Amino acid sequence: MGPPKKHFVPFLLLLAFCILLLLYSPRPNSISTQFPLNPHSIATSTATSASASSTFSLTIKVLTFNRLNSLTRCLTSLSKAHYHPDHPVHLHIFVDHFPNQTQSNIDLKLQESLGILRFVDGFQWKWGQKVVHYRTTNVGLQAQWLEAWWPTSDDEFAFVVEDDLELSPLFFKYLRALILNYYYNASNFSPFVYGASLQRPRFVPGKHGNKMLLEKTSGLFLYQLVGTWGQLLFPKPWKEFRLWYDDHRAKGIKPFLDGMISTGWYKKMGERIWSPWFIKFIHSRGYFNIYTKFPDEKSLSVSHRDAGVNYGKTAGPDSQLLDENSLDFDFPEMKSLSTMKKYDFCFREVVAGRIVWSLNDLGSILPSVQKKEAVLLVSLFGVSETVTRNLLCHFERLNIWNYIFIGPATDFLFHLAQSGHPVIDADGFLEDIKSFKSLRIQESNARLIKEILLKAYVVKKGLELGYNTWVVDGNMVFVDNEIFLDPMDNFYAGESLDLFYVKNSPSAHKIWTHDFLHDVAAMGDKIALPSDTVNFASVMAKLVGQKGIRFKRIDEKSFGMKIGNQNLNQALETNKKVVYWFRELDMNSIQKHLQEMNLWVIDNDSSCRAVVCHNS
């Protein structure tokens, strides 16, 4: 009935958009994983039933423009591949238009387009639908990729192919095997895997990153980088990316990621290319792509690198194609996801799933954490998620990798472990210690005593293994890594910083006995210090002092800088090694202070602004 209803249209659109956002907005706290990481929560896998797996469909998205010879080679190779009767394989061809400002050679351009369209029209495709999308304007590679797909179900996959690629006849067989093993097999499924690339792994985008040490790797592995020469996309992460892109693009945020070659591409090519956006998204989510190293660096998808947007002049094929006659060719073993090696944008190995629940776990995990026989135990009690993420970016910047976090069993803690940061689940660990050592903890001050006791146990385990241990609080930022140089003293304490160092020394072994730990556990009522000054460092300093052992006090005034509610606009005083604050200080103040000092190094997605590679 007329005009008034029109008002509802924008409203409905808005509502629909909000629902989509709700459905796909990132919820880092509820990310489930393939590993039974958190015993307190049941991992909800999105992998669907076996019946769905037998009916999934694949759509090949061919992106083309004006290279008829390339396109002919590409489509011919696709038509010669082996498909499977269970799975429809659709072919969508996106033909970009020539730019409208072309004033010269218009007739030639029109002829070229006509040539492409005639060829595409005549091309037979019998494995599914053939759809041709002929553009009216030149949209460029970014829109060609981004608009190529909006999945309509979770059983629909896209394989994106630029026209200068050539595919092996075996490519679909392999994609099918990957999809069945890493999408539909629930025990190998992870929401952190966004797809698979069929190109030869060859490139590390982090500046000063490692060479691809592929002699160490064989068969399948996980790597964060997208491989644009034959990329299989899984539906959910792709939708998530599209919504993330909309959100950032609309707010004028740029996909800058310092230290990455892709940021240079973006500065040069801007919105003509899409990969800097995708790379930034993958970095912020910590997602991975499946790659395969085939013998002799052959691959199932080869780029001829013909002259075009990516190459000024033709560069020639990137590697050799695996064909049916490749002698002895067998697909590599589809190893279980949990045993696959994982690499970040520096091609640094990411060791996921290191979680300590018991004393035993600690004995097996600490050796993988230590560097030069030193371990950095970082307390996350009372430390917010954002502050922890900021701290991690500083560790990356400072090339500090020998840390292990200890904190309550939250989803975030398990997410950290999944992302390659070793953790101690304080709740699980405490249960193990209590039952094992029949410890009774005094109820008053219980929370604090537990925290202190756990740290004391980790120090003890470190001593048994011959390590020096630094115990530090997560409410702190390290300005440089000099503080972790060996301070020479057996014990070294900063009581208001809550920093304590125990050197692997005869005197430490003498004090750090089981009796000592029982003393800690029984201490409840005896801690009469004002509560805001009671922490691990102050209690240890006191106990060690009572034994008549000398320890060195850090000169905290010159060592660190404490920020508080007052005096915003602080500049970092030179020569300070750490910046710290009280647990109670509110998030906004922490962020503002650290921003003033250029120590706030995460972006609005709480991910590091930079990738910092250290050649190893």
Ligand X SMILES: *[C@@H]1O[C@H](CO)[C@@H](O)[C@H](O)[C@H]1NC(C)=O
Binding site for ligand X (CB under 6 A): 100-101, 185, 187-188, 251, 253, 336, 604
Distance CA 192, CA 170 (A): 26
Q: Min. distance of Cβ 122 from ligand X in angstroms? A: 31
* HSE value, Cβ hemisphere, 13 Å, CA-based, for 115: 15
Nearest CB to ligand X, comparing residues 60 and 608: 608
Using left for φ > 0, alpha for ψ between -120 and 50, and beta otherwise, residue 576 falls in: beta
Separation of first and last alpha carbons in the chain: 71
Q: Min. distance of Cβ 35 from ligand X in angstroms? A: 12
Residues with Cβ < 8 Å from 551, sequence gap 6 or more? 489, 490, 491, 492, 493, 541, 544, 545
Nearest CB to ligand X, comparing residues 336 and 533: 336
Nearest CB to ligand X, comparing residues 253 and 446: 253
Residues with Cβ < 8 Å from 121, sequence gap 6 or more? 132
Nearest CB to ligand X, comparing residues 202 and 249: 249
Nearest CB to ligand X, comparing residues 49 and 101: 101
Nearest CB to ligand X, comparing residues 188 and 469: 188
CB atoms within 10 A of CB 411: 18
Q: Min. distance of Cβ 187 from ligand X in angstroms? A: 5
Nearest CB to ligand X, comparing residues 509 and 609: 609
Q: What is the 3-state secondary structure (H, E, C) of 339-377?
A: HCCEECCCCCECCCCCEECCHHHHHHHHHHHCECCEEEE
Q: What angle do CA 612, 614, 603 make, to 5 degrees?
A: 10
Query: What tokens appear for 280 in the block?
Result: 């930034």
Closest CA to 462 of 400, 408, 505: 505
Distance CA 384, CA 407 (A): 11
Strand, coil or helix: 106: helix
Distance CA 576, CA 559 (A): 5
Q: Min. distance of Cβ 258 from ligand X in angstroms? A: 13
Q: Min. distance of Cβ 600 from ligand X in angstroms? A: 11
Nearest CB to ligand X, comparing residues 254 and 576: 254
Nearest CB to ligand X, comparing residues 97 and 298: 97
Dihedral angle sign, alpha carbons of residues 115, 121, 123, 125: positive
What single letter denotes the amino acid at residue 156? E
Contact of 116 with 98, CB cutoff 8 Å: no
Residues with Cβ < 8 Å from 512, sequence gap 6 or more? 456, 459, 460, 463, 502
Closest CA to 156 of 229, 65, 92: 92
Nearest CB to ligand X, comparing residues 290 and 369: 290
CA distances from 492 to 458, 467, 469, 545, 575 (A): 17, 15, 11, 12, 19
Count H helices, E strands: the chain?
19, 22
Q: Min. distance of Cβ 253 from ligand X in angstroms? A: 5
Q: Min. distance of Cβ 604 from ligand X in angstroms? A: 4
Q: Min. distance of Cβ 406 from ligand X in angstroms? A: 31
Strand, coil or helix: 145: helix
Distance CA 119, CA 90 (A): 18
What single letter denotes the amino acid at residue 288? F
For ligand X, the nearest residue by Cβ is 336
Q: Min. distance of Cβ 456 from ligand X in angstroms? A: 39
Q: Min. distance of Cβ 149 from ligand X in angstroms? A: 25
Q: Min. distance of Cβ 31 from ligand X in angstroms? A: 21
Q: Min. distance of Cβ 335 from ligand X in angstroms? A: 7
Contact of 402 with 481, CB cutoff 8 Å: no
Nearest CB to ligand X, comparing residues 175 and 534: 175
Nearest CB to ligand X, comparing residues 15 and 108: 108
Nearest CB to ligand X, comparing residues 130 and 249: 249
Q: Where do the H-state alpha helices sit in 46-85?
A: 50-53, 68-79
CA distances from 284 to 26, 301, 327, 592 (A): 11, 28, 41, 22
Q: Min. distance of Cβ 102 from ligand X in angstroms? A: 8
What is the distance of C-alpha 208 from the center of its chain? 19
